[in-house]
Structure 1
Amino acid sequence: MIILPAPLTIRNARIVTSQEHFVGSLSAADGIIDSVSIGASQVGEDWEGDYLLPGLVELHTDNLEKHLMPRPKVNWPILPAILAHDAQIAAAGITTVLDALGVGDIDPESVRSTLLASCIVNLQRARAKNLLRVDHYLHLRLELAEENLLDMFTPFLDDPTLKLVSLMDHTPGQRQWTDISHYRTYTTGKRGWSNEKVDSMLEDLLERQCLYAAENRRKIVSSCHAVAKPMATHDDTTLEHVTEGVAEGIKICEFPTTLLAAQAARQHGLGIIMGAPNVIRGGSHSGNVSATGLARADLLDVLSSDYVPASLLHAAFMLQKEGFSLPKSINTVSLNPARMIGFDDRGEIATGLRADFLRVRLVDDIPVIMQVWKDGRRAI
């Protein structure tokens, strides 16, 4: 038997809708927002002027992979890793998350090469047993130079939880890794590779790209269109990268690495995703274009926490320094990502939508998440 959440009423909250913000009240019943009103009220729990924001919607986080392999070559038990990831996501105010799992890799010992199927099975298990605090869906990140990519990806193409497919090519010397020195720093640090191993891999990676990337891309695009799966290009750097995706019917430009690519994406009507850590750090860890620079040029639609879940809300508030209003800032982590992948039942504070919302308090200009509600129930 399904037990519906109890009705709730909140007053004296600083409510942020998709268009405005004001002090007012909210009520919800059966997990749905049924009233949002401006002004004082004597009814309900007093939030004492704290912010009431929509639950965050995350389209791309690698956080689960970090829990699956917390140190190089250290594999953690899968279900406990998923539950720890889920708790961290909820604590960051994210009520809907697309777990970004890599399919294929340059390292045969990586999580992406060895644990993909088991990870997806355990996510299904955790969901079926009602163990998760927030809604989890899949974002499969396809490494196009992977020889066995089609065999690895095809079993999950019809999975109803698959909400986004991104086309990646991390071959050094282009896109994210135009500067080989940044690639060397990343692989020796995160992957624990020696400089000698990096050198030995470069030639092999270029050969794999030549052999497999183009044909894999053609088949993947065709397969995704056949079942109406949204696709994103990844790390577009040149005008040609963007126009290739446009010709393929792709609607999302994820992490463009140059101003030129972002401008081309906007010209062609693609949604633009950038990393929240890029905003907080003041630049890309790979030496690519600044997310705040794109925000100032109004070339940013969605923020993704990428590798730091807690960065999402923090970065959204920081966008106000780049000329975004508070509603526009919050839309980058709620309404915009929800609509980008077809969710129309969440992503903003409005009557008739799911009661996914946050209680947030500003402390020294840092948004601190006090409570998280999903479907009208407390998650944190």
Structure 2
Amino acid sequence: MPTILPSYPALRFTGAEILRDGEMQSRSIAIADGRITRGPLTEVNLAGYMILPGIVDLHGDAFERHIAPRPTAPFPSSTGLRSTDRDAAANGVTTAYLAQSWSWEGGKRGPDYAMAMMQALDSYRPQALTDLRLQIRCETHTVDTADRLLAAIQKFGIDYVVFNNHLDEADHLASFNRDELYAWAKNAGRTVDEHLEVIKQAHRQRTQVPRYLCRLADRFDELGVIYGSHDDPDGETRETFSMIGAKICEFPTARSAAALARAVGDPVLMGAPNIVRGGSQSGNIAAEDLVRMGLCDALVSDYYYPALHLAAFHLADMGALTFPQAWAMISEAPARILRLPDRGRLDPGRRADLTIINSETRAIEATISGGRITHLAGEAAHRFAFASMGAQMAAE
């Protein structure tokens, strides 16, 4: 099959409210060759719309449902990634980190599956509309996988890792919820007894874990990998991770962990669904409370892409932040945290990453990622088509 080269339209959007320099402004914005630019170009009248920086999502596992809509009904990874790509684009996401576990838990969370996902994404990436990347969620008690993990990170260019520890959860299930433990073991392709033995083996690594994490941290620094921790239960845990260089505090489950992160300058990430639903689905601290206390820097999709833009509007509607401040939590702040200087703001020369929202309905009607139109629907689609026809008639 012939190679289809990506198309980068050269357009100027007029009439919209545009987020620039921390405020909504009535002005035009142009894109060409994949970048935000200046100059007279074919105009698209977007009066009645908001043009916002593309959403940068640092942690999402919605891809799991696209690959396996039901636990017993998996589809090829390529199909799932294509569906994830479209899902992200339809919800204004222009950069998306897919949160893939690397764990003793096995199954879809095990190293073998993680390696397969790295290969699948590497193969799919040339077709991708969204800038799809993998975040590795590394269980702390995976000491014997160090060489394999580091080799994979280097081979596939993984640039973001978070550490987490699910052993306490496993111990709780073993003692108080055998039915859920059975389901966990079944998903990993094990009997309950086999799964309990794996948990015991993980516990036996506890004396080696500190040295293991330090080894990984040293190598991550050499490779330029940004790393952090997930589900910190308290300030002491966050301080320990911070001291080894794992500076990102992702989904702290208690205020003390977020407060310690703030005290030492570590960015705090929380789930956007937590904001939209009014609290954590697992009973942990409410993300909106952390935002109001100034203890949250950025929001991520977690398990649901639509929650990202809905959370920004919710925070503004509730008076927790201004709308530009709220939108920055899903665009400028995450781009800064992951050291992505070419995105997150609508400045000339940056990547043309735009999320275009109907001001009345608040529906995302267009997404442009890296200068390519990745989603187009509703009235916005008619505006783009009309502009295209006008340009063709003028040329004739």
TM superposition score normalised by structure 1: 0.86
1:245 to 1:185, Cα distance in 2 relative to 1, 3 A? farther
Partner of 2:97: 98
What secondary structure is seen at the aligned counterpart in 2 of 1:308? coil
The structural deviation recorded for 1:315 is 1.0
1:324 to 1:202, Cα distance in 2 relative to 1, 3 A? farther
Aligned letter for 1:16?
L
> Superposition pairs for residues 184-333 of structure 1, below 5 Å?
205=199, 208-212=202-206, 213-320=209-316, 321-333=318-330
The 1-side partners of 2:143 and 2:66 are apart by 26
The 2-side partners of 1:187 and 1:9 are apart by 56
Among 370, 373, 377, the alignment partner of 2:368 is 373
Cα deviation, 1:261-289, whole Å, max 9, x if unaligned, reads 11110000001100011111111122111
Cα deviation, 1:228-265, whole Å, max 9, x if unaligned, reads 21111111121211111221122211111111111110
Among 153, 158, 173, the alignment partner of 1:157 is 153
Q: Does 1:112 align with 2:110?
A: yes
Aligned letter for 2:48?
G
The 1-side partners of 2:117 and 2:34 are apart by 29
Partner of 2:88: 89
Cα deviation, 1:144-171, whole Å, max 9, x if unaligned, reads 2235432441222224641211011112
1:369 to 1:191, Cα distance in 2 relative to 1, 3 A? farther
What secondary structure is seen at the aligned counterpart in 1 of 2:367? strand
1:185 to 1:86, Cα distance in 2 relative to 1, 3 A? farther
Partner of 1:23: 26
What secondary structure is seen at the aligned counterpart in 1 of 2:365? strand
Contact persistence 2:101–2:110 (CA under 8 A): yes
Matched pairs, number = 368
1:189 to 1:290, Cα distance in 2 relative to 1, 3 A? farther
Aligned letter for 1:352?
G
Aligned letter for 1:372?
T
What secondary structure is seen at the aligned counterpart in 1 of 2:16? strand
The 2-side partners of 1:353 and 1:5 are apart by 14
1:134 to 1:142, Cα distance in 2 relative to 1, 3 A? same
Moved more, 286-295 or 118-127: 118-127
The structural deviation recorded for 1:181 is 10
What secondary structure is seen at the aligned counterpart in 2 of 1:66? helix
The structural deviation recorded for 1:207 is 5.2
Higher helix share: 2
1:184 to 1:27, Cα distance in 2 relative to 1, 3 A? farther
The structural deviation recorded for 1:328 is 0.9
Contact persistence 1:11–1:42 (CA under 8 A): no
The 2-side partners of 1:161 and 1:369 are apart by 31
Partner of 1:33: 36
The 1-side partners of 2:118 and 2:339 are apart by 22
Aligned letter for 2:313?
F
Among 334, 346, 351, the alignment partner of 1:349 is 346
1:379 to 1:42, Cα distance in 2 relative to 1, 3 A? closer
What secondary structure is seen at the aligned counterpart in 1 of 2:326? helix
The structural deviation recorded for 1:334 is 0.6
1:159 to 1:328, Cα distance in 2 relative to 1, 3 A? farther
The structural deviation recorded for 1:4 is 6.1
Contact persistence 1:68–1:76 (CA under 8 A): yes
The structural deviation recorded for 1:226 is 2.5
Where structure 2 has 5 or more consecutive residues not aligned to the other structure, the ranges are: 376-396
Partner of 2:166: 170
The structural deviation recorded for 1:210 is 4.3
The structural deviation recorded for 1:173 is 5.0
What secondary structure is seen at the aligned counterpart in 1 of 2:107? coil
Among 12, 36, 47, the alignment partner of 2:15 is 12
Among 120, 125, 137, the alignment partner of 1:122 is 120
Contact persistence 2:354–2:369 (CA under 8 A): yes
The 2-side partners of 1:285 and 1:28 are apart by 40
The 2-side partners of 1:184 and 1:319 are apart by 39
Contact persistence 2:10–2:42 (CA under 8 A): no
Contact persistence 2:12–2:41 (CA under 8 A): no
Where structure 1 has 5 or more consecutive residues not aligned to the other structure, the ranges are: none
Moved more, 57-66 or 148-157: 148-157
The 1-side partners of 2:6 and 2:79 are apart by 27
What secondary structure is seen at the aligned counterpart in 1 of 2:349? coil
Larger Rg belongs to: 2
Aligned letter for 1:26?
I
CA RMSD of aligned residues (A): 3.2
Cα deviation, 1:318-361, whole Å, max 9, x if unaligned, reads 12125211111111111111111111111111122111101112
What secondary structure is seen at the aligned counterpart in 2 of 1:211? coil
Contact persistence 1:69–1:111 (CA under 8 A): no
Contact persistence 1:61–1:100 (CA under 8 A): yes
Contact persistence 2:231–2:253 (CA under 8 A): yes
Contact persistence 1:17–1:348 (CA under 8 A): yes
Contact persistence 1:18–1:335 (CA under 8 A): no
